[in-house]
Structure formats: structure tokens, C-alpha cells
């Protein structure tokens, strides 16, 4: 990763004038003089100000307040299970999809994840919906695309909707978009490819921020893979590492109402994303009228937020009416969304409530590929959570950024520094006896699994899990589009399978408090981590 954009000398004055006009209202005289007299230094000053500024969240509507206006809220919505009464507040904060534990399949290995994707694509008859950060460009990804082609050829009624991130999906000459363009051209009526473009990347920032750097401002990070009436919720992307030796979590749920929910959710996000045409140009979706990087940013945000909020509220009301009819249910799925860029904070509110409501005698296992918990989460674990907590994260050797060129190579050390700071805070507040740290390390593998397992008092198996794309960090809450599901169950077989999933991850970890404290962190990482913490 380069430190900043390359600017040819002959274009310096032109770039300078643009930056100067963009920044002048908000800078002092000395900074303005730097912009005028030293173009390269001026551009670096601008980028430093851009990437060090605190995020200004989009104006929020009372998203959860609207949900709570439903007329019938249950004291305990988990039929036949008084043990789950302490979790009944979930029914007031998210749509609920009741089902049975045997409709849920836990996937453990990357290869099994890939095989399941390919098998489900080959069998799909009506719809395939793929939402990911990006699609890789290797041999496995090419075979994946060929499987999509064969299914589209054999089923003329099959529809394929793909949602990826614009900046990540168009990085380089060979990229996610170019991998999928043959399908867009060949199956014009069957395929819709959409690229989400953050409304924060606009104006001079869009023109000057180089590849990779432009990804810092916000991404489409949801991982949803849907085939007819089954949906995989995961944190894994569609690329070689995630198919071979990058450990993540994956859960397959066979339930038409939930699949319909996610198909419609992705469809709504596609409306305010860029639509890719057969000629490879990107433009507006037929149902949309404002490009994310043109016009008024606030208008775009308001319209996008309304499309998502209205949909979730409609789903909440509908599911509240059918919830009591599912008398055979032993498992309840609550889909959670986080879209901070457009003012929707849902998953983070539910996660904080869960952390703060953990009762005495309970246990909590929390996993993240990148340890950068929000300050609010760390404060909640420290001061409000009563559970015994085990936090699992990647050892530097299992971090995907280990050995990367440029500033990215310092990211593993930054995570160590943040974990060390949190641990030392726990020690000062005499809470370190209740919170333990573990680091995952498997030779030749990297670690990307995230989520949470919650055990009520006296329970040796998890009663609840969170699984999805969120890393519980600043990016997840404020910058990226995220989704995960909160799954509550009384099904013993499913709880055993979830326990086996957690055991597989923790069995490859070691206690890490001593290593975290002793591990050296380069001075330059210590100097910049506070500035860039909101971006990784």
C-alpha cells in the first residue's frame, strides 16, 4: 500500500487548486500556504486530515423506536422455554423467524464452504443471491463462475443477483467486476450485478484517494449467499483463501421466509448501488435517481435509509403476527443490520444490549478476526457485563495482514496494541479475572472468524450465537454495511453442533495475556494507531 497518491508534476497545479478550494474553508493560514506553495506536501496534508478526522455519523432516525411501536410484545417470546426469559427483549428489537434446529447446518471448514456454494449453485432453480465484499480472480473463483454459467444456461427462469463493493470489486485490471462481466453480457435478462459505492467517497476525495486508500471510507461488507430457499450467513468472502486456508464461520439456514427477507434486503441495497451494464459501464438502478457520489450527500443518505428502514419495519410487523403460530419452533433467528453510513444502527444496539444483560453465572465467548472492539463494547464488557468472558482473536502469524507491504504490514501490531490497552484497563479495574484472551494460530492458515456464543447459567452448551460479517469494531459500526443473525435455540442437537464449532476454534488457540503484554509494537504503529483506528 502506498502512503499517498502519486501526482505527476505537470498536474500538480491543477490538483492543488482543487484541494485548495476544497480544504480552504476549514484550514488555517499556515495550512493554506502549504497547499499553495508545496503541492505534494499539500496533498499529503489533505489526506492526513481526511483520514484522521472523526467519523460524522449520518443523521439517525429512531429505527428501533419504530420497531417497538408494534402492538403486541411478548414477555417471553420463546414458547415453552422459561430458561430463555432473560433474552426475551430480543423480540422487541428485531424481526423474529421461528424455525427448527434441524433446518440449520453448521459448516466448519473453508473447503466445505466452497463445496456447499458450488453444490447449491448447481441445484438452484429460481434464484441465486450473492452479497460479498469481493470475488477473487483465481482458479477456484473461475470454476465458481463457470458453475454459475452452467446453472443459468440450464435454467432459463433462474435469476442471479450479485452485490459487491465498488472500490474493492474494481481494484486492479483483473478484478471482481471483470470476472463477472461475461455472465452480465451473456445472460442480460437473468443477471444483475451491483456495486455498492459509499456516499462518503465523492468530490476531491474520490479523485485523489488512490486504490486501497479509497476503501478506508466505507465498504459493502455483508456476506450473504442465497440459493432458492436456503441462505448461508458468514463472514467469508468469495476468494481462494476463504475456500482453502482462511478460517471463518458459516451457517446454512433452510427457511423460505428468512431467505425471502435476505433476498429482498439485498435487492433494496442494490437499488442505491451502481448497476453494471453489459457494456461494463456503471449507472443508476432503474428505481433510483441519485448517484452516491453526486448531488447532495444527505439526500442520498435519507432516501437509502428510508428504503431499508421501511423494509425492516414491515418485516418486523409481519413476523410479529406469525410468530405465535409456529408452535413447533425450537430455534429463533433474528437478522441484524448495521449501516452506519446511512444512519442505521441496529446490530450494534442489540450487541451492546446483549453484552450488558449477561447475567451472573453466565459465560460469553466472543471471537473477532481483528481485535478492534469499539470503546462502547469494551466499556460494556468492563462495567456492565456479568458473564465470564473468553475473547478469541488472531495471533499475528494468523493475521491476514502479516507480512504485507507498506503501512498495512503494521496492522497486526496495531491489533496487539489495542488488545494490550484493553487488558491493562481490565487489570486497573480489577476485572481481568473475568475476561480472558486467546489467540488462534494454525500453521499455514489465517484467521477471520467472528461472532459470539452465550451460555446461560448452569448451561454447558450455548443458548445463543451471533454469526455474520461484523468484527465488532469501529468500521463495523460506523463505516461498512454489515449483517449478522442472532440465533437462540433450545434444540440440544443444534447447541451441540454450535459447541463443536466453538471448540474447534478455541482448541487451536493459546491463552494470550502474557504474550499481548510482552509483544513488541513498533513506535510508528503506536504513533498512528489512534488516528487510523476508526478505519481498520
Residue 2 has pLDDT above 50, yes or no: no
Which residue range is the domain that position 509 belongs to? 59-93+330-535
Whether residue 351 sits in one domain with residue 368:
yes
The span from the CA of 1 to the CA of 210, in Å, is 9
CATH of the domain at 205: 3.30.870.10
Question: Is residue 22 situated within a structural domain?
Answer: no
Q: How much is the pTM?
A: 0.89
Whether residue 338 sits in one domain with residue 287:
no
Q: Which of 91, 177, 197, 223 is labelled catalytic?
A: 223
Whether residue 134 sits in one domain with residue 86:
no
Residue 85 has pLDDT above 80, yes or no: yes
User: In this structure, are strands 250-254 and 246-247 parallel, antiparallel, or unpaired?
Assistant: unpaired
Per residue in 475-503, pLDDT (tens digit) is: 999 999 999 999 999 999 999 999 999 99
Whether residue 139 sits in one domain with residue 222:
yes
Question: Is residue 46 situated within a structural domain?
Answer: no
Residues paired with residue 232 on neighbouring β-strands, in sequence order? 225, 252
Whether residue 205 sits in one domain with residue 79:
no
Per residue in 324-364, pLDDT (tens digit) is: 777 789 999 999 999 999 999 999 999 999 999 999 999 99
The reported pLDDT for the residue numbered 60 is 53
Question: Is residue 42 situated within a structural domain?
Answer: no
Whether residue 268 sits in one domain with residue 382:
no
Active site residue 228: yes
* Total of domains in the chain: 2
Active site residue 197: no
Whether residue 358 sits in one domain with residue 321:
no
Q: Which of 165, 228, 248, 330 is labelled catalytic?
A: 228
The reported pLDDT for the residue numbered 527 is 86
Residues 6 or more apart from 325 whose CB is under 8 A from it?
none
- Single residue among 275, 293, 328 that ends a domain in this structure: 328
The span from the CA of 137 to the CA of 232, in Å, is 22
Per residue in 423-470, pLDDT (tens digit) is: 999 999 999 999 999 999 999 999 999 999 999 999 999 999 999 999
8 Å CB contact between 482 and 476: yes
Question: Is residue 17 situated within a structural domain?
Answer: no
The reported pLDDT for the residue numbered 535 is 77
Place of cell 456454494: 117
The reported pLDDT for the residue numbered 45 is 53
The reported pLDDT for the residue numbered 235 is 98
Question: Is residue 200 situated within a structural domain?
Answer: yes
Whether residue 137 sits in one domain with residue 272:
yes
Residue 48 has pLDDT above 60, yes or no: no
The span from the CA of 71 to the CA of 125, in Å, is 38
Q: Which of 91, 177, 197, 221 is labelled catalytic?
A: 221
Whether residue 114 sits in one domain with residue 71:
no
Helix axes 256-271, 297-322, angle to 10 degrees: 170
Per residue in 372-417, pLDDT (tens digit) is: 999 999 999 999 999 999 999 999 999 988 877 777 788 889 999 9
- Single residue among 265, 299, 328 that ends a domain in this structure: 328
Active site residue 206: no
Amino acid at each position: 500500500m502506498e502512503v499517498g497518491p502519486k501526482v505527476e508534476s505537470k498536474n500538480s497545479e491543477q490538483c492543488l487548486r482543487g484541494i485548495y478550494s476544497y480544504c480552504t474553508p476549514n484550514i488555517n493560514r499556515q495550512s493554506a500556504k502549504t497547499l499553495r506553495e508545496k503541492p505534494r506536501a499539500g496533498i499529503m496534508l489533505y489526506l492526513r486530515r481526511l483520514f484522521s478526522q472523526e467519523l460524522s455519523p449520518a443523521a439517525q432516525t429512531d429505527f428501533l423506536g419504530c420497531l417497538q411501536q408494534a402492538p403486541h410484545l411478548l414477555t417471553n417470546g420463546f414458547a415453552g422455554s422459561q430458561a430463555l426469559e432473560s433474552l426475551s427483549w430480543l423480540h422487541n428489537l428485531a424481526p423474529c423467524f421461528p424455525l427448527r434446529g434441524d433446518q440449520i447446518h453448521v459448516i466448519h471448514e473453508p473447503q466445505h464452504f466452497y463445496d456447499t456454494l458450488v453444490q447449491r449453485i448447481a441445484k438452484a432453480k429460481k434464484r441465486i443471491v450473492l452479497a460479498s465484499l469481493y470475488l477473487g480472480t483465481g482458479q477456484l473463483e473461475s470454476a465458481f463462475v463457470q458453475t454459475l454459467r452452467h446453472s443459468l444456461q440450464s435454467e432459463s427462469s433462474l435469476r442471479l443477483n450479485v452485490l459487491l463493493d465498488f472500490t474493492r470489486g474494481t481494484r486492479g485490471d483483473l478484478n471482481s467486476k471483470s470476472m463477472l462481466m461475461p455472465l452480465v453480457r451473456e445472460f442480460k435478462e437473468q443477471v444483475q450485478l451491483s456495486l455498492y459505492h459509499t456516499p462518503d467517497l465523492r468530490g476531491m476525495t474520490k479523485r485523489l484517494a488512490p486504490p486501497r486508500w479509497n476503501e478506508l471510507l466505507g465498504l459493502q461488507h455483508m456476506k450473504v449467499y442465497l440459493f432458492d430457499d436456503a441462505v448461508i450467513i458468514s463472514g467469508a468472502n468469495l476468494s481462494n483463501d476463504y475456500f482453502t486456508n482462511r478460517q471463518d464461520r458459516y451457517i446454512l439456514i433452510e427457511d423460505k421466509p428468512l431467505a425471502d427477507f435476505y433476498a429482498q434486503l439485498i435487492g433494496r441495497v442494490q437499488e442505491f448501488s451502481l448497476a453494471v451494464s453489459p457494456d461494463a459501464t456503471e449507472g443508476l438502478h432503474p428505481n433510483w435517481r441519485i448517484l452516491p457520489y453526486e448531488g447532495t450527500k444527505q439526500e442520498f443518505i435519507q432516501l437509502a435509509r428510508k428504503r431499508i428502514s421501511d423494509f425492516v419495519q414491515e418485516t418486523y410487523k409481519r413476523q410479529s403476527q406469525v410468530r405465535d403460530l409456529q408452535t413447533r419452533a425450537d430455534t429463533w433467528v433474528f437478522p441484524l443490520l448495521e449501516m452506519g453510513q446511512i444512519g442505521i444502527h441496529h446490530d450494534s444496539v442489540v450487541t451492546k444490549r446483549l453484552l450488558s444483560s449477561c447475567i451472573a453465572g453466565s459465560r460469553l465467548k466472543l471471537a473477532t478476526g481483528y481485535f478492534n472492539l469499539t470503546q462502547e463494547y469494551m466499556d460494556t464488557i468492563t462495567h456492565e457485563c456479568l458473564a465470564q468472558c473468553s475473547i478469541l482473536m488472531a495471533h499475528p502469524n494468523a493475521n491476514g495482514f502479516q507480512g504485507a507491504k507498506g503501512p498495512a504490514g503494521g496492522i497486526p501490531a496495531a491489533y496487539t496494541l489495542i488488545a494490550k490497552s484493553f487488558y491493562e484497563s481490565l487489570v486497573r479495574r480489577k476485572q481481568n479475572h473475568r475476561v480472558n484472551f486467546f489467540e488462534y494460530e494454525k500453521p499455514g492458515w489465517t484467521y477471520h472468524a467472528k461472532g459470539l456464543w452465550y451460555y446461560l447459567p448452569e448451561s454447558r452448551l450455548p443458548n445463543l450465537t451471533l454469526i455474520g460479517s461484523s468484527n465488532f469494531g469501529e468500521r463495523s459500526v460506523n463505516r461498512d454495511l454489515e449483517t449478522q443473525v442472532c440465533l437462540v435455540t433450545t434444540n440440544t442437537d443444534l447447541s451441540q453442533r454450535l459447541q463443536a464449532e466453538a471448540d474447534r476454534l478455541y482448541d487451536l488457540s493459546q491463552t494470550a495475556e502474557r504474550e499481548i503484554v510482552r509483544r513488541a509494537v513498533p513506535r510508528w504503529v503506536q504513533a498512528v494507531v489512534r488516528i487510523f483506528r476508526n478505519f481498520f
